[in-house]
Structure 1
Amino acid sequence: MNFEDIQTVKKLLSVPQKIVIVPHKNPDGDAIGSTLALWHFLNDMGQEATVISPNDYPKFLKWMPGNDRILNFEKENTQARDKIENATLIITLDFNHLGRIGQMQSFLEHSNATFIMIDHHQAPDDYAKVTYSDVHMSSTCEMVYNFIEFLGNTDKITAEIANCIYTGIMTDTGSFKFASTTSRTHRVVADLIDKGANNTAVHHNVYDTNSPGRLHLLGCALKNMVIINDHKTAYITLSQEELDNHQFQKGDTEGFVNYGLTLEGIIFAAIFIENKEEGIIKISLRSVGDFSVNDFARKHFDGGGHDNASGGKSELSLAETTQKFESLLKTYKELRAS
């Protein structure tokens, strides 16, 4: 954030505001962690803040402090719409265009509130009065820490805030193994632990609370893995029937796509998950090195994200989608084995 933006935010928060904080649809650890951290911070300042999620999110994130105060737009629609209608300030976190919030989009587009955006994805829209966008950041949660620091309030970071921020950084960095993890990231994490973040408990709550169905589904996913050594690629498919047979719950496939990258010589991994209710194939893409899955997703699968982690969708069948995917691989020279 530049000096002018910091002063604008300080002026906005110097008076009482009715604040709505919004993550993207199907929020992950970084989205929920950043929104709850900011919610705690703003309410502790004396502001009236509410987090409204476009829809539900995984059970392994519902232990987080403040989770019970989040409004689900799909399930608590009347209350959520009232909060949006009366908001004077709307802060969007971990996304940068309003198409990422599903049914909430039109309500935010018609809002007269002032907008602040905090996000680390590429190509941000210009809907916000203050846009804090940095694609080099490990996570939106690290940016929320910076945001609090810009305001001169890191001494106001409580254990609750620290645990929320730690969760988002941990999940979005793959437990600190992705290239976006910098020395600054580790210094932020060290300060969070000093301020009360319980790293052992966070790891346990996120990664060690699996259901038997999820582990059996992982076995199914790995059995379905297709390895294309000639294009340094591995992909997984999961049909709706396979999800149903393993009592699929939201969040159960989180992280599955990364298993492809654990194979020697593989630099591009994908997972294709059938969603009959929405009539789409949900796609997650991961890479290592210089191959940009952000560009790949934007060009071919109506998606985007980061250079090494992106998502998309397809309205073709599962078989047609994977056929399209395999045919595209042949056009990328950097995926051909040397």
Structure 2
Amino acid sequence: MIKSFNELKKAVLENSNFILTTHVIPDGDAIGSVMAFDNYLKQNGKNVTIINHSPTPKVLQFLDDKNLIVVFPDEPERLAIQIENAEVIILCDANEYSRTRSMEDYIRKSSAVKICIDHHTGLIESEFDIAVCNIQYAATCQLIYDYLKFDNENFINHQIATYLYAGIMTDTGSFRFPRTTSEVMRICADLIDKGADPVLLHENIYDRMSKPKLNLLQRFLKSFEFHFNDEVVTSHVSERDFKETGAELNDVEGFTSYLMGIENVKMGILLAEFPKGVKVSIRSKGNIPVNELAREFGGGGHLNAAGVVFDKLPTGQIINTLLKSAEKFFNNKLT
């Protein structure tokens, strides 16, 4: 990592105008990483704009209390010019330009130095000028923490500590996923010492279920179907469910925990319809590589947590396609 850290630091020192972005439908690690790196760059006197394809989920908007993040589809012409004129574009918590959706072509065409900071599998290093990536990390925010410690620990102020803790907490499933190591816990202890409030962050992200989300949860729970001798459970929420409950797409965050909390279930699949497609979240236990399953359809992720966005197709068709592909992970044929 030292070589890539040095390359990243050199790019920071030698340039002034930066664009930060992350993947479509951002999670806590995505928002935490762009917010933390934005703060770091500004401490270095840089001009920074965070441009994302998707709006920030309501549950994470408190992290961006100054509304620094702008949404590309809201102002495509103006923001396309900014991307074109940037000196450096940094893709956080994603390693494929396609994950930026509407921004992809503009980023590819830009002459800017392109940097990837990420912890997912599937990196093609030739796509970037600098790749600060390691799949052993529990979160991109953990990777950024190590980089900041490498550069100068004093950069980790209470705001950055808050952003990084939020990203690590969410990507480890509140410190219960397999990559929750003793090192992760030591890092989080240090972030608390530097100003992160673990109680407030947990309350803001996990303990504020709205009535629309509660009503959506009821419909989600009724959608369960079991396969492969009850080792796989599938579920879905429809556009109609969102409309009738008043819930939003990001309200399904955390729903996969209900799937994986069922006795004997080894894989859970959640489909969530939105106007332009279907978001699929896949979770597993043990050595079932759901990232490989997601990658077959243009998605990606980790061994036990992955996702993919399908074009607008019937949910039943998508479920059948996923199950057919997942047969190889189970001894029983499709049932």
TM-score by length of 2: 0.93
CA pair 66-35 structure 1, distance change in 2 beyond 3 A:
farther
Which residue identity is paired with 1:134? N
- The equivalent of 2:136 in structure 1 is 136
What's the counterpart of residue 226 of structure 1? 225
Question: Cα 1:186–1:335, aligned 2, differ >3 Å: closer, same or farther?
Answer: farther
Q: Equivalent pairs: percent with the same residue? A: 32
AA at the equivalent of 1:109 = R
Contact 1:93 1:117 in 2 (8 A): yes
CA contact (8 A) 1:61 1:206 kept: yes
TM-aligned CA deviation for residue 259 of structure 1: 1.0
Displacement of 1:321: 2.1
Q: Does structure 2 conserve the Cα–Cα contact (< 8 Å) formed by 1:214 and 1:246?
A: yes
For 2:120, what is the secondary structure of its paired residue? coil
Say if 2:233 is the partner of 1:237.
no
Counterpart Cα distance in 2 of 1:6 and 1:135: 15
Residue 150 of structure 1 corresponds to: 150
Aligned to 1:178: 177
Given that 2:228 and 2:332 are in contact with CA atoms closer than 8 Å, whether structure 1 keeps it comes out as no
Deviations, residues 209-253 of structure 1 (Å, cap 9, x unaligned)? 221010110111011111336151111111211121111224111
Q: Which deviations, in whole Å up to 9, do the C-alpha atoms of 1:48-73 show, x marking residues without a partner?
A: 11211112121111101455111111
In 2, are the aligned partners of 1:291 and 1:334 still within 8 Å (CA)?
no
Give the corresponding residue for 1:304: 300
Q: 3-state SS of the aligned residue for 1:9? A: helix
Q: Which residues in structure 2 correspond to 1:261-272 (within 5 Å)?
A: 261-272=260-271
Residues 293 and 308, structure 1, Cα contact 8 Å, conserved in 2: yes
Structure 2 residue aligned with 1:293: 290
**Greater Cα offset, 66-75 or 110-119:** 66-75
C-alpha contact 1:92 1:117 (8 A) present in aligned 2: yes
**Aligned counterpart, 2:72:** 73
Aligned length: 332
Distance 1:75 1:17 in 2: 25
Contact 2:232 2:267 in 1 (8 A): yes
Would you say the 8 A contact 2:122–2:300 is kept in 1?
no
- For the Cα contact (< 8 Å) 2:5–2:132, is it kept in 1? no
Judging changes above 3 Å, is the alpha-carbon distance between structure 1 residues 335 and 284 closer, same or farther for their aligned structure 2 residues?
Answer: farther
**Unaligned stretches of 5+ residues in structure 2:** none
1:230 & 1:220 partners in 2: Cα distance? 24
1:257 Cα deviation from its structure 2 partner: 1.8
The more displaced of 128-137 and 221-230 is 221-230
Q: Distance in 2 between matches of 1:334 and 1:19?
A: 50
Counterpart in 2 of 1:252?
Answer: 251
What is aligned with 2:120?
121
Q: Which amino acid aligns with 1:83?
A: Q
